[in-house]
Amino acid sequence: MAYRTSLLKPVLIMAVLQLLFFCNYLNAKELTIVSTNYPPHIYKEKGKIVGLRIPILTDVFAAMGHTYKPLVVPWKRAIDLVRQGKADGIASIWKKPEREAFLVYPQIPFYYEVIGIYKKKDFGLNYQIGQYDTLEGLKIGAVLGFAWPQDFIRNKNYLLLEEPSDKQNLLKLAKDRLDLVLSDSAVGAYLIKQYDIENIVRHPMNFNQGTWGYVAFSKANPDAGRLAAKFDVAFEEFVRSGQYNRIFRDYLGRDPDALPPLSLRR
């Protein structure tokens, strides 16, 4: 009996090691996270996918034991891919009840999306959030297709001019063809820095209150809940380390408008 037991020990050890290796292999699965083309957050350049989102998610998913594969597609297709389980997750996306039918959201949001107001340095503007009548008589540049508030769109006291890109709007502002430009704050900061657009500043008051965007995981993936929980832990550590701020400074020359609220127990 003792002889048989001694023979079984190496077999059992080998079986445990193989099981651990298999579990680690599954845990290290490459995660496809879909996004839409949105510089400086994520975009294609010279055949590569780049942007400030890439180093953040690469490091966070690595801490979770996964590799990160970014996929950039139009927004409607991005939604379809996570709904069908053809992508593991999406970044970043607002939290809405109808989306919770096919997405699992972590507790901690990823990025604070707020619309900044851009103007010439010497242009006076007394604006408070939602007080659209203070914009009377102005020519305002905005991105075509963005979900602007209906009462803002319907107001006839100013001229709303929509262009396909923020870059076009900011260049028109620089040439005095617009009075103001509304743009995602990170996009505006990036473009002004990237193209060295002079004499344009961001107004101290934002256009809106802002909304948190999340990295959410497809419910079609049976591990979605576990991934969301692991993401919270890894992302919290990443933010606490100062790396989140550092990446924003590298890309935009400033800190993010807000740090993700960290409410998990350490």
pLDDT in tens, 28-73: 589 999 999 989 999 999 999 999 999 999 999 999 999 999 999 9
Q: By the 8 A CB rule, do 108 and 232 touch?
A: yes
The CATH number of the domain holding residue 174 is 3.40.190.10
Based on the domain organization, do 49 and 28 belong to the same domain? yes
Q: Which of 211, 216, 243, 245 is nearest to 229 (CA)?
A: 216
Percent of the chain with pLDDT over 70: 88
At residue 88 the predicted structure's pLDDT band, cuts being 50, 70 and 90, is very high
**262 occurs within a structural domain:** no
Based on the domain organization, do 179 and 88 belong to the same domain? no
Judge residue 219's burial from the number of C-beta atoms within 10 Å of its C-beta, 0-12 exposed, 13-18 middle, 19 or more buried.
middle
**257 occurs within a structural domain:** no
How is residue 19 written in tokens? Answer: 């099981």
At residue 256 the predicted structure's pLDDT band, cuts being 50, 70 and 90, is very high
**240 occurs within a structural domain:** yes
Query: What's the pLDDT at 19?
Result: 45
**261 occurs within a structural domain:** no
DSSP structure string for the chain: -HHHHHHHHHHHHHHHHHHHHHHHHHHT-EEEEEE--BTTTBEEETTEEESTHHHHHHHHHHHHT-EEEEEE--HHHHHHHHHHTSSSEEEEEE--GGGGGTEE--SS--EEE-EEEEEETT------TT-GGGGTT-EEEEETT----HHHHH--SSEEEEES-HHHHHHHHHTTS-SEEEEEHHHHHHHHHHTT-TTEEE-SS-SS--EEEEEEEETTSTTHHHHHHHHHHHHHHHHHTTHHHHHHHHHHSS--SSPPP--S--
**39 occurs within a structural domain:** yes
Based on the domain organization, do 28 and 56 belong to the same domain? yes
**16 occurs within a structural domain:** yes
At residue 23 the predicted structure's pLDDT band, cuts being 50, 70 and 90, is very low
How is residue 58 written in tokens? Answer: 């690469």
**264 occurs within a structural domain:** no
pLDDT tens digits for range 53-62: 999 999 999 9
Query: What's the pLDDT at 183?
Result: 96
Where in the sequence is the domain holding 153, given as residue range(s)? 115-202
Based on the domain organization, do 7 and 70 belong to the same domain? yes
Based on the domain organization, do 106 and 232 belong to the same domain? yes
pLDDT tens digits for range 118-161: 999 999 999 999 999 999 999 999 998 888 999 999 999 999 99
Based on the domain organization, do 11 and 67 belong to the same domain? yes
Based on the domain organization, do 91 and 52 belong to the same domain? yes
Phi-psi region of 113 (alpha: psi -120 to 50; beta: other; left: phi over 0): beta
**76 occurs within a structural domain:** yes
More confident residue, 27 or 56: 56
Based on the domain organization, do 93 and 128 belong to the same domain? no
More confident residue, 28 or 88: 88
For the chain, the farthest-separated pair of C-alpha atoms sits apart, in whole angstroms, at 95
Based on the domain organization, do 215 and 236 belong to the same domain? yes
Through-space distance between the first and last CA atoms of the chain, rounded to whole angstroms: 49
Look over the chain and give the mean of its residue pLDDT values, rounded to a whole number. 90
Based on the domain organization, do 55 and 120 belong to the same domain? no
Query: What's the pLDDT at 147?
Result: 86
Predicted confidence (pLDDT) at residue 91 exceeds the cutoff of 70: yes
Based on the domain organization, do 136 and 36 belong to the same domain? no
Does the model's pTM come out above 0.75? yes
Domain count for the chain: 2
**Domain end position, chosen among 166, 182, 202:** 202
**Domain end position, chosen among 202, 219, 244:** 202
Based on the domain organization, do 103 and 180 belong to the same domain? no
Give the residue-averaged pLDDT of 206-234. 97
Q: What is the dihedral of CA 62, 211, 37, 150, to 10 degrees?
A: 160
